[in-house]
Structure formats: C-alpha cells, structure tokens
Structure 1
Amino acid sequence: MLAGASLLLSLVAVAVSVRRLRRRRPARIVPMREAIAEPRNVMRESQKNGHSADAALIHWSPQMLRSVLADELPDAQVIVVSNREPYIHNLSSQGVELVVPASGLVSALEPITRACAGTWIAYGGGTADRLTVDENDRIAVPPDNPSYTLRRVWLSEEEHQGYYLGFANEGLWPLCHIAFTRPLFRASDWETYEAVNRKFADTVVAEARNERPIVLVQDYHFALLPRMIRERLPEAIVITFWHIPWPNSEVFSICPWREKILDGLLGSSIIGFHTRFHCSNFVESVDRFLESRIEREDSAISYGGETSLVHAYPISIAWPPDLLAKLPPVEECRARVRRRFGLADDVKLCVGVERLDYTKGILDRFQALDALFSQHPEWIGKLVFLQIAAPSRGSLPAYRALHDECEALADELNQRYGKDGYRPVEMVAQHHTQAEVYEIYRAADICMVTSLHDGMNLVAKEFVAARDDEQGVLLLSTFAGASKELLEALIVNPYDAAMMGEALLQALTMPGQEQTERMRRMREVVRDNDVYRWAGSMLLDAARLRKRGDLDRVTGGDIPPQANVISMFARRVSAL
C-alpha cells in the first residue's frame, strides 16, 4: 500500500514541477476525484506499472463522507436546496399522514443529507406541512431518527403555477429533453420563476450559520439561484447539479432568457451533470452566448472575474439499499406480485416503473410489445407487461394527453391479444411506495427503461440493486445516462419498436447463466459507484477549491493549486 501511495504522490509532485516550468499557461484546476475517486483509472495505471492499487481505493460510505467533511471542510455547513421535499405531511381521515415521495432525486440526496447532518430547504406542498413545523418553519427528520433539518418554503398557488408548472415544466423540461414536445415560454412564468428563486435565496442566507456554507443546489427549478447566493454569500461554495440533460446550443437558443439562465448557473463554484456529453453541451452554450474564457482541457469557465468548474458526476443510489433488508426473498416477492395481478406461474413478467411523463417512452414500449407479438405470436399468453405510471403534473395538457394515449393503447393491445382472462398489459396509474416498487423489481423477469432522453435514470440502477439473486434482464435506452455505465444491459433505441421487440425476445430467451453474468457485472458497477461516491466527489472538489482560495488569500496566489492536491491526497491515503 505504501509503495502505491508513494508512486501516486510522486506522480502528483512531478505534475507540480512540470506546471511550475510552464508559467505562461494558466494552471490547470485538477478535480480531486481524478486523484482519489477514480479507482478504476488508478488501478489501470498501477497495474501497468506493477504496483498495487489498494491504497488508491476508497470505500465510499456515510462514515467516509463525514470524514471528508471533518478533515477537508471542517466546520462547513451543508445546505441542500431542491423543489421537492424528502418528507411530506398530508391530512387524512386518520389525522396527519407522512409520505416519503418515490423520487430519484430524493432517494439520492436523502442519505447524503443524513450523513452530513445538514439542512434541506424545499417547497412545503403537503396539506399538513404547516402544522408540523416549528415557529421557524423547520422540522427535524427523519421522524424515526432525526439527523438533519428540513426547512420548508411556502409558495402561493400563483407562485407554484408560474414557477414550477409554468416555466420549469412547460419551458425548461421540454427544452432540455429531446422528446419533441414544444416548450412554452411566458413572460409571466419567467417573472414568477425569478421571484421564487429569490425567495429560496433569502431562505439559504437565513439558514446559513456563517458566510462559508457548502450549498448543493438541485436541478432546473433553480437556474438563477447560484448567482443570487453568490451576490450575498461570496465566500460560499455553491455546487449546482443539473439532473436532466442539457441540450445543444442550437436547441438552447430557443429560450428567450438564455443569457440570464447561463449567468445564474455561472454563479456556481461547480456545475455538475451526469455525463461529459451534457457538460460539453453546456460549455458550448456558454461559449456561444456569453463573453467568457473556456478552458476546455480543465472543464472550467472564467466569467465575470470568477471561475466555475463544469464536471460530470454520475448520480447513483445507496448501496446496498436499506429496503432490501426489509423485503422477503425473491421467490416470495414473485408469488406476491403474481397473486396481486392474477398471473400464472408460466407467464413471464416485464415491468416499467416511472412517473407518467412523455420523456419516459411508455408508449414506445407498448409498441415494442405489439412488435414482439406480431413477429413472434407464440409469446401471446406467455408474457405480461406491468406498467407502474405514477401520476405527474396532471394539470398540464401534455400530461393529460399522454395519460389518455397510454390508456387507449393499453386497451387496444388488450383487446387485440387478450383472451380468456389474459391481459398482456396491466397499466397502474397510481403512486407506489419504495418498498412496493422494490418488491416489483424483485418479481420481474425483465425491466424496461426506455427513456426518450434522460439525464441518468435511477430506475435502472434500482432494479439492478434489487436483484441480489443475480437474475433478471434490463432493457435500457441508449439515450439514458445510465447506459454509459450499465453496459451489460440490453441497450436499445426506444424509437425503433421492431428493434425493441427483438430485444424483448432476447431477454425472454436469455439463459440463466448469462443473466447472472450480466447482472453480476452491473451490480459491481452500481456498488462501486454509489451515491456516496457521487456526493464525495463533489465535496472533495469543493474542498480543493476552498483550500485554494484560502491559500491564495494568504500567499497572494503564489502557491500552485497542485500543492493542495498533494497535501489532501497524502492525508486521504494515510486514512485508508
């Protein structure tokens, strides 16, 4: 281990020396994850040189996150900002009911906020949310083991309509997703979006214990928030993570307020996307519409006297999911689900699980089922497709139309291929708990994730994590970020129904041993790249930026930034 650590420290030292000799070129900002949190790359280099890579491997966990905060960001307050809250309180006939939303964003961020003992700021939309907070609009969560603070922000119906349903979901959402739904931009929605972003900025400042918090801004609802925070807390580290795709600059040019959105995001210290492709699209948009300096090798943008890093941080889930310990074995899950939907033992079960959204490709997978039955009628009666489609944004016309189309196509397929009580499509348009969703994952023979465009898609990773029996087949859209990691899935083009039908046939006839080999490899990927690594990579980059800023203030900028890398890396290796 010491030999490997010495080698890596020597390589960093050589890099420092080379940089010192190249004074004419701006110093490269090296992300900490390149030195620490990319064990596969380090392993390849170490093995090439005949050295062990053990010293370079980090086992990311809540404890490791707390260690990073304590060692590299001492006394730092972590503030998470998102539109959706992790715990919702609603009034019911039994009193106050607690709801944990089945959201990819929530499932990714909740364990991180627990580990950091931070503050989560979110819109309080539950009917009993106001009844459960204290006089400062705060509540300690989770209810059974309070470990962080939820601070709720109140919005009027007009604010929610204009900011969330209007500009965010009728404007930015279709703009960023290539799903051929025209974005709608209204000046009134934009004004409300600005006002709500300002309201959240006021809340961040009010919750900050000092002038140097670490603020994790989440998603397209808050494109203006980083700049607003930077204006009032200039020493804060603002990390903005954009969970959805970023379009190319030509598509982005459609937005009437494109320059303001870019300016708002460049108030961030770090801007994160799921893939390098989306990073490149963002950089190209900045290059086209703003006067800035682009350091493409370093993925950095200098704008208005400040530098923002633009990096890829593929999001993931906690490993292993806490729910697995509470669920029965796979065979019992299969029996329960089959009883619930009246499925015979010899019928294969294919599932889809997501919000009812036009970006998810639900209609396309129904068409793939039609293609399979048309070309291979022997599977009629032997395969059922179960679509869990949680209602979403039902007040918007595009979503109401999608619901009607899905129901109509499901009915058509059931009439065409159904007989004697057999229905090939079961569409369940209702919300499910995470435990219910994981039970369905464990019961399935096939899971279809056929997004027309997706930043990542955590359903794919949840399905893999749920299958500790190492069985089941994942069909995964090439247009989902997860396809860049889960290479052992059957990668499909959701726009090609015939091709997806053939992929379904391949999944249905795949031998158990091949399923095991594919699933085992995908589980290794999800295990090694869990949500703690996602957060840890960003926090390590934040720590390096903070240390560089502190040294620059002390030394006038004479110490090269790589010196910080050496000291931080040395401490991290010693802790392994």
Structure 2
Amino acid sequence: MSQKSEKNMAETNPEHSFIVLANRLPVDRCEDTWQAAPGGLVSALAPMVRAERGAWLGWTGGFDETIPPFEFDQMSLVPVPLTEAEHRTYYEGFSNGVLWPLYHDLIVTPQYHRTWWRAYEAINSRFAQAAVRSAAFGATIWVHDYHLQLVPHMIRLLRPDVRIGFFNHIPFPPVELFGQLPWRREVVEGLLGADVIGFQRNSDAENFRAAVRKFAVDADAPPPLIEAFPISIDTEAIRQAADSEAVARTATQIRRDLGDPDILMLGIDRLDYTKGIPHRLRAFDELLDDDLLSPQTTNFLQVAVPSREGIAAYQDLRDEVERLVGRINGRFATLGRGIVQYSHHSYSFEDTVALYLAADVLVVSSLRDGMNLVAKEFVTARRNRGGALVLSEFAGAADELEQATIVNPHDISGLKTGMHQAASLDTVQARERIAAMAATVEDHDVHHWAQRFLTALQPSAPLGPAMGKSATAHRDRAAQKVTSSD
C-alpha cells in the first residue's frame, strides 16, 4: 500500500469513541492505493467517523492477507481478514445462501448447512473482538446489516460500558418464516445485545418484535428500542451530478445511441432474484404484443449490475434474463434497432445519474426490498424534469414515494397496466409527481437518517414505549455476567 496515504495505527491511539462495523470497509483497492468506495452508506457515515476521529471496521475485499490498521481520509480503518474459504462459507454460504433468501420471503430456498453456521459464528466473533479492541470506554458502536447479527451480543458480553446500535438494511421476515431458521434463538439473542435496533419499515420492526416474543430466551425481558429508520440517499450529490454539463451530455448521447425513442423505460438493479427483473420484462413484452406501446418508438434499457456470480441461483437468473431479452428482441426488433438494450456491468456514479436523466420511466419491480435507493435517486435527479416512477409495493420506498405508480410485481397484468399508465402521463402531472417525491426525499436524506439513528442511540435519548427499564436491565445482566466470569 502507498505509505503516503496510510499511517500505521500503532503510532496512534487505538481507542475510538465512535466505531462503525460493516462487512466491507469504505474503500476499494486500486493497485497499490486505496480509493473511496461509492455508496450512500459511505457518504452518510464517513463524515461522522472523520468528525469523531473514529474507526471503521470491515473486510478489504482481498483474501488470505493481513493488513494492519491504517488511516484514510481522516478515518481509522481496521481491516478484518477473511480467507477465501471463510468468504465462501460465511458470506456466500450463510449470509447469502441462508439469510438473504430467508429474509426475502423464500424467493429461493435457503440451504441450512451447519458448517456455514459455524463459519458465521466465527467471523461474527472476529468482528466483535476487533471492535472491542478499538473501542474507548463508553464508545458508540454502530453495527450494520445481516452479515453481523451476532456481533451486538458478543460485544455486550465483553464491554457492557459501550452503546451499541444495529441497523438491518434488508427486510426482516414474518415470524412464521424466520422460525424455519435452525439458529433463530441465537440470532435474536445476538441482536438483543444492541441498545437500538433499526429497520427500514415499520412492518420489519414488528416482525422482529414478534420473533423476540416467540424465540427470546428470557421472555420477561422485552428488547431495547426497536424502530423503523428508513434509509435514504445523498440528495446534494445527486443534484450536483444531475446539473452538470458532462452528465447532461452523456444522457443525451445515451438516447441518441438508442435511436432517440419517444419513450425510454429503464430498469437499473443488481442482478438479484429479489428485484423482479423477469417480471418487468414479461410485462413489457405483453405491452408490445398488445400494441399498447409501439416497438418503433419505445425502448427498454435494463442495467443488471453483476452480483454474487458464484451462487447458482444468480447464474440461473442471468440465464433467464438473457433468454427473455433475446425473445423480445427476436419478436420485435428490426434491422439496426433493438427493443431491449441489456447491460450486464457496473456504471460509475455519474453515468448512473446520466441514465436517470436519459430515461422517461423507471421501473422498480422488486419482489421484496428493504428500501430501494434507486427509486429515490431517480426522483431526485429528475426534479424539475418530469418523468415517471413505477414502484413495487414490496419495496420500502413505497411507504414514502406515494406519488409513484404503485404496483404488485407478481400481478403481470397489473404491472403492465402500471407501466402503460406511467408512459402515458401528461407532462404537467409527471412534473408535479416527481417534484413531490423529490421534496420528500430531500426532507429525509441520508444525513437525516444517520443523525436520527445516532440521536436515538445516545444515553440520554428515551428508549421505546415501555422498554426503557427492560433495556437497562438487559445491559445490567450482561455486565453481571461478564463480572462473574472474570
């Protein structure tokens, strides 16, 4: 690594008052240097970590390497190492072969392997120990996402003095589904180590409360604050990009390359079975077949960012999407003009915003989604420009973006109708709807989300209804357990 951009943490105070734990560090490696990683979570939390001279703990993305803690952009970064075998069992296995499908309504069937569970326990313990070593007395530790659900309890047993927050970025399933997990009690107990447990939607928070009531070891000890904290985006960054001349030129070129269609529909997602990509393509196929949209004047641009390509379900999905794209183009394309443009690679932040500006309609047909930030980015980029958003009722964003055309993606006829209505909106109505949704997002941007969560996590903050005493008792019991074992 570049010695100019890093500073060995052995020369600094390793104890930090604010610590973020996530599966990945907020940086990507580029040859022998580090670069800031894109994403809303980084833009929200990095300024707070810098302001507090705090630490961010996570995996570097490389295998079988031990990298000492280093500083980047006034943040202390603490790498948590993984071997390739651990990544396969902890990340691809338990996190994404068990928890991801289970928490997304069993769209594919989870595989419950005990070796994966043991790897998940071991890596969670590694993260917890790294946090304990880095935390000052009374520190605030914010743990993120389903990869690290055991960490709060593990930290609590070792350090009853710290404040622990946990935020789940994906849905939390109904108790009837969650109950299938052989290690359900351990996961509930792991999360209950936190002082504040945050979810995307009220329904997710209620699902977890139900799991606590059914599976908590100590039924007389209600959990700490459990609440919905809907995540959002960096609206200022989106607006600046959307207003730049370079992005505007790219957007114009995108439409020109597609033959300047009258209507350009856009889907932009990770290639994941939760996103409902085949559903929207089938609906689009029927719109063309029923002459509700003209293949001479309409295009669909589907961007599918590669994701978890080592997992069989994702390979099967890619094959299905490519078959559908081929079938639609085989039926409706003409020489020199395709109908569906399919792109299976990543785009830069600026190019992504250009795609939003180029499109007339964004289709979000998620079968289950924690939030879906693409919908919020689209309406923010298109403020004062019009356009239309088709949004699945099963995405968390549907709770906030009420002016979107809300659809049930499992209902292909209803999805088709929603896509047709969005494509047919008059200019004035389209501008009014986009403006209203953009204003909602701006009032509740990613910085508002982070501040709201951290305010709730402060020791002086009130805990949830009828839960304050139980949360304190939970911490006291943990402290007693640690003391008795010394």
Q: TM-score range by the shorter chain?
A: 0.7 to 0.9
Show the counterpart of 1:299. none
The whole-number CA distance in structure 1 between the counterparts of 2:109 and 2:360 is 36
Show the counterpart of 1:218. 144
The whole-number CA distance in structure 2 between the counterparts of 1:321 and 1:542 is 27
Show the counterpart of 2:466. none
The whole-number CA distance in structure 2 between the counterparts of 1:102 and 1:501 is 33
The whole-number CA distance in structure 1 between the counterparts of 2:343 and 2:65 is 28
Partner of residue 266 from structure 1, selected from 192, 198, 222: 192
The whole-number CA distance in structure 1 between the counterparts of 2:293 and 2:195 is 57
The whole-number CA distance in structure 1 between the counterparts of 2:47 and 2:300 is 32
TM-superposed deviation, 1:84? 2.2
Show the counterpart of 2:224. 308
Q: 1:116 to 1:527 in 2, by over 3 A?
A: farther
Where has structure 1 moved over 3 Å in runs of 4 or more? Answer: 96-117, 126-130, 291-294, 544-548
TM-superposed deviation, 1:115? 5.1
Q: Is 1:479 aligned to residue 419 of structure 2? A: no
Q: Which amino acid aligns with 2:174?
A: N
TM-superposed deviation, 1:397? 0.4
Query: Once structures 1 and 2 are overlaid, which stretch shifts more, 508-517 or 264-273?
Result: 508-517
Query: Once structures 1 and 2 are overlaid, which stretch shifts more, 244-253 or 502-511?
Result: 502-511
SS at match of 2:458: helix
Show the counterpart of 2:99. 172
1:144-293 aligned within 5 A: 146-178=73-105, 180-208=107-135, 210-292=136-218
Q: Which amino acid aligns with 2:233?
A: I
TM-superposed deviation, 1:511? 1.1
Show the counterpart of 1:434. 349
The whole-number CA distance in structure 1 between the counterparts of 2:42 and 2:267 is 20
Show the counterpart of 1:139. 71
The whole-number CA distance in structure 2 between the counterparts of 1:466 and 1:86 is 24
SS at match of 1:392: coil
TM-superposed deviation, 1:123? 0.5
Q: Is 1:399 aligned to residue 325 of structure 2? A: no
The whole-number CA distance in structure 2 between the counterparts of 1:177 and 1:248 is 10
Which of the pair has more CA radius of gyration? 1
Query: Once structures 1 and 2 are overlaid, which stretch shifts more, 108-117 or 512-521?
Result: 108-117
Q: 1:99 to 1:439 in 2, by over 3 A?
A: farther
Q: Which amino acid aligns with 1:337?
A: I
- Residues 329 and 340, structure 2, Cα contact 8 Å, conserved in 1: yes
- Residues 267 and 364, structure 2, Cα contact 8 Å, conserved in 1: yes
Show the counterpart of 2:61. 125
The whole-number CA distance in structure 2 between the counterparts of 1:355 and 1:98 is 24
List alignment gaps of at least 5 residues for structure 1: 1-74, 141-145, 295-301, 549-556, 558-576
SS at match of 1:422: coil
Q: Which amino acid aligns with 1:152?
A: P
Q: 1:384 to 1:112 in 2, by over 3 A?
A: farther
Deviation track 1:267-295 (CA, whole Å, cap 9, x = no partner) reads: 0111000111110000001111124458x
The whole-number CA distance in structure 2 between the counterparts of 1:364 and 1:114 is 43
The whole-number CA distance in structure 1 between the counterparts of 2:370 and 2:52 is 25
The whole-number CA distance in structure 1 between the counterparts of 2:274 and 2:321 is 13
SS at match of 1:278: helix
The whole-number CA distance in structure 2 between the counterparts of 1:474 and 1:100 is 30
SS at match of 2:137: coil
The whole-number CA distance in structure 2 between the counterparts of 1:250 and 1:103 is 33
- Residues 89 and 127, structure 1, Cα contact 8 Å, conserved in 2: no
1:329-340 aligned within 5 A: 331-339=248-256
Show the counterpart of 1:26. none
The whole-number CA distance in structure 1 between the counterparts of 2:457 and 2:431 is 39
TM-superposed deviation, 1:385? 1.0
- RMSD, aligned CA: 2.4
* TM-score calculated relative to the size of structure 1: 0.74
TM-superposed deviation, 1:81? 0.7
TM-superposed deviation, 1:333? 3.8
TM-superposed deviation, 1:106? 4.0
SS at match of 2:23: coil
Q: 1:176 to 1:347 in 2, by over 3 A?
A: same
Q: Which amino acid aligns with 2:55?
A: T
TM-superposed deviation, 1:103? 4.3
Q: Which amino acid aligns with 2:61?
A: G
Q: Which amino acid aligns with 1:273?
A: F
Q: 1:471 to 1:102 in 2, by over 3 A?
A: same
TM-superposed deviation, 1:111? 4.8
1:8-157 aligned within 5 A: 77-91=17-31, 96=32, 101-103=37-39, 105-114=41-50, 116-126=52-62, 136-140=68-72, 146-157=73-84
Show the counterpart of 2:245. 328
The whole-number CA distance in structure 2 between the counterparts of 1:472 and 1:455 is 24
The whole-number CA distance in structure 2 between the counterparts of 1:126 and 1:433 is 22
- Residues 313 and 534, structure 1, Cα contact 8 Å, conserved in 2: yes
The whole-number CA distance in structure 1 between the counterparts of 2:185 and 2:293 is 56
Show the counterpart of 2:414. 499
Show the counterpart of 1:533. 448
- Residues 259 and 290, structure 1, Cα contact 8 Å, conserved in 2: yes
- Residues 64 and 82, structure 2, Cα contact 8 Å, conserved in 1: no
Q: Is 1:356 aligned to residue 296 of structure 2? A: no
SS at match of 1:494: coil
SS at match of 1:174: helix
Q: Which amino acid aligns with 2:21?
A: V
Partner of residue 290 from structure 2, selected from 372, 375, 378: 375
Q: 1:330 to 1:445 in 2, by over 3 A?
A: farther
- Residues 286 and 292, structure 1, Cα contact 8 Å, conserved in 2: no
- Residues 175 and 247, structure 1, Cα contact 8 Å, conserved in 2: yes
Show the counterpart of 1:318. 234
TM-superposed deviation, 1:128? 12
Q: 1:547 to 1:273 in 2, by over 3 A?
A: closer
List alignment gaps of at least 5 residues for structure 2: 1-14, 464-471, 473-486
- Residues 232 and 376, structure 2, Cα contact 8 Å, conserved in 1: yes
The whole-number CA distance in structure 1 between the counterparts of 2:354 and 2:391 is 20
SS at match of 2:367: coil
Q: 1:276 to 1:393 in 2, by over 3 A?
A: same
Q: Which amino acid aligns with 1:510?
A: L
Partner of residue 388 from structure 1, selected from 297, 303, 313: 303
TM-superposed deviation, 1:85? 2.3
Show the counterpart of 2:376. 461
Instruction: Give the share of equivalent positions with the same residue, in percent.
Output: 37
Show the counterpart of 1:444. 359
TM-superposed deviation, 1:243? 0.7
TM-superposed deviation, 1:105? 4.1
Q: Which amino acid aligns with 1:184?
A: Q
